[in-house]
Structure 1
Amino acid sequence: MSNDLPLPFSKNRTQEMLAFHRLLDIMDDLREKCPWDKKQTLESLRHLTIEETYELSDAILEGDKQEIKKELGDILLHIVFYAKIGSETGDFNITEVLNGICEKLIHRHPHIYGEVKVEDEEEVKRNWEQIKLKEGNKSVLGGVPQSLPALVKAMRIQEKARGVGFDWEEDHQVWEKVEEELSEFKAAVENGAKEDEFGDVLFSLVNYARFVGINPETALERTNKKFIKRFTYLEQKAKEAGKNLSEMTLAEMDFYWNEAKSL
């Protein structure tokens, strides 16, 4: 079969392509006819994309599948929007975006598209980081975005260091480091340099969480949501009692807090 002939597609794949083509056509219409869409730039869309990403994150944590589907659509729209603007300036287009990620994935998965053999997930990660260095990255940590939230950044830094073999061997070693940093922080509270030592405590806790298979960002956000839910219940009970929270005793607040925990 000639390489110039179109590839056969399954019915589902054809439907996917038609749906994507429909989105591209709608984007063309909006960019030409809608006053708001016509004004947008790469820079003006940036903060909106960040917001959409956080909304997707919230939907995932809530386990709301329909909301996840909706937010994925919003993010896909943003990708198409950026590509449309790029095509107008002649810098890039959606075809180049799609082919670019396809080529990158093929290149970075030689165990799938080449002759490389791997034993497990960790070996895949190590190969990935080595390939990135060969592609021109000056540092293993160079791919960590500077604007990432600190907790997420700490996790990514540690994951990338692990990818080239720089890591602890046993989880008890990591926990001993946590205890060491806690001890140093306690001393610093009394003698100074509290912020630096507290940062070390957080970094070591992120390290331990990663080592035992916990995503610290997800864990902390679930705790945030849990606190908000219980505090909102506390506010509701205070309102039902005709009081402001500031008028309640700690004993009263503890009662309703413990009641919220059992819900």
Structure 2
Amino acid sequence: MNTRKQQLAAFNRLLDIMDELREQCPWDKKQTLESLRHLTIEETYELADAILDNDLQEIKKELGDVLLHIVFYAKIASEKKSFDIADVANSICDKLVSRHPHIYGEIKVKSEEDVKRNWEQLKLKEGKKSVLEGVPKSLPAVVKASRIQEKVAGIGFDWEKPEQVWEKVQEELGELNEEIKAGNKENIEKEFGDVLFSMINYARFIDVNPENALERTNKKFVNRFQYLEKTAKKEGKILSDMSLTEMDVYWEKSKEFFK
């Protein structure tokens, strides 16, 4: 692995390249904070995909893309005389020191839960009016639900046992079933949302990341269905002309390859 000196030299090289591109490249010169935003979101999702695939080489590449964006934003801000990359680094360093008094102060903690609880309390002392202020509005719903539940749990608003959460899941399923029988579409949507929210909460108690779990299932389904498509095509068959029973034969076969 690289030494700290080599790591700093590599980062300095990136800063130099960013300066040169901003001065000389027509595309880089044109970019703004706003124009980069959607690209940053895309790069973050690509990193997330690489992590799910456990592809370390791809993770390295995608981290580089994300790091470039951080440097790019800081460069634009420095041109506006607002802040630069040193301010960005110092800002997070100051926050880390402030929010880890059990490392840099006199606070004693016994567990990870103590750390999380202290973290949320410290944020409130910093001026936040709600523990939920830090949850971005534009997060995907599943991720947002997870973060909301983690945040409130951090100050003790939580179930005590996984069994209690599972009972809540069953309760919400029952309420959904009643609304389906009644045929009230608006209430069905509400109760379906409650079921999803309670399932996401239960995932936390059994140490499952619901976003990762669902995405893995998405990928598994895509792989199995594409196997079905390719196999049917090899045999000269058209899926739309096949019966569900015929397609199910290929589907079951796909499970041998994609589990």
Which band: TM-score by shorter chain? over 0.9
Matched, 1:209 2:200: no
After superposition, the C-alpha distances for 1:185-221 in whole angstroms (9 at most, x for unaligned) are: 0111122111000000000000000111000000000
Q: Normalising to structure 2: TM-score of the pair? A: 0.97
Runs of 4+ residues deviating >2 angstroms: none
Deviation at 1:159, TM superposition (A): 0.2
Can you give the 5+ residue segments of structure 1 that lack an aligned partner in the other structure?
1-10
Match of 2:215 among 208, 217, 221: 221
Deviation at 1:233, TM superposition (A): 0.2
Q: Matches of 2:56 and 2:209 in 1, distance apart?
A: 21
Match of 2:64 among 68, 73, 97: 73
Cα RMSD (Å) = 0.7
Give the AA of the match of 1:254: D
Matched, 1:235 2:229: yes
Deviation at 1:92, TM superposition (A): 1.0
Deviation at 1:16, TM superposition (A): 0.7
Q: Matches of 1:170 and 1:25 in 2, distance apart?
A: 53
* Fraction of identical pairs, as percent: 69
Deviation at 1:241, TM superposition (A): 1.5
Give the AA of the match of 2:228: L
Aligned counterpart, 2:131: 140
Q: Matches of 2:223 and 2:25 in 1, distance apart?
A: 40
Match of 1:115 among 97, 106, 116: 106
Matched, 1:246 2:240: yes
Aligned counterpart, 1:8: none
Match of 2:250 among 237, 240, 256: 256
Can you give the 5+ residue segments of structure 2 that lack an aligned partner in the other structure?
none
Deviation at 1:71, TM superposition (A): 0.2
Q: Matches of 2:141 and 2:52 in 1, distance apart?
A: 20
Deviation at 1:95, TM superposition (A): 0.6
Q: Matches of 2:195 and 2:230 in 1, distance apart?
A: 36
Give the AA of the match of 1:206: I
In terms of mean alpha carbon deviation, does 63-72 or 185-194 score higher? Answer: 185-194
Matched, 1:38 2:26: no
Q: Matches of 1:245 and 1:131 in 2, distance apart?
A: 58
Deviation at 1:248, TM superposition (A): 1.1
Q: Matches of 2:127 and 2:205 in 1, distance apart?
A: 29
Aligned counterpart, 1:86: 77
- Aligned residue for 1:166, secondary structure, equals coil
Give the AA of the match of 1:238: A
